[in-house]
Amino acid sequence: MRGKILSLSVCAAIIISFSGCYYDVDEILYGTSSCDTTIAITYADFIAPLLDDNCNACHSETIASGGVITDNYASVKTIADNGKLYGAISHAPGYVAMPKNGNKLDDCTISQVKKWIDSGVLDN
């Protein structure tokens, strides 16, 4: 009987020690994803397609929900310069979170939009 208890104790100790070696590190499990904000963020190649995919259905010149237009550079420049664009997509306090009734844009995309704004809201 004493031998069985000793054997069970040894087995339990081994099992417990192996479970202690397991760890969840997101980078190991899922890999790392990087956000490249060193690339040139242009209106034509990045901002306009982003707005077309996420904003223009409700904020075009023909609809202009909330009086906001995102389907042309001049209108986008206005909301970028006054902070409404970044405030809305970053869900900042005091701004209406956009896309409305949709998922927040990912942090990388928001960072890239911020870079475009900080770089002078160029029409390039």
Q: Are 69 and 61 in contact (CB under 8 A)?
A: yes
Tell me if 7 is assigned to some domain. no
pTM of the model: 0.72
DSSP 104: P
Tell me if 84 is assigned to some domain. yes
The residue behind tokens 């844009």 is 105
Tell me if 37 is assigned to some domain. no
The tally of domains found in the chain comes to: 1
Tell me if 8 is assigned to some domain. no
* Tens-digit pLDDT profile for residues 27-74: 566 555 689 888 899 999 999 999 999 999 999 999 999 999 999 999
Tell me if 5 is assigned to some domain. no
Tell me if 13 is assigned to some domain. no
- Single-letter amino acid code for the residue at 42: T
In degrees rounded to 5, what are phi and psi of residue 72? -150, 155
Farthest-apart Cα atoms in the chain, separation? 86
Tell me if 110 is assigned to some domain. yes
Tell me if 19 is assigned to some domain. no
Host domain of residue 99: 43-118
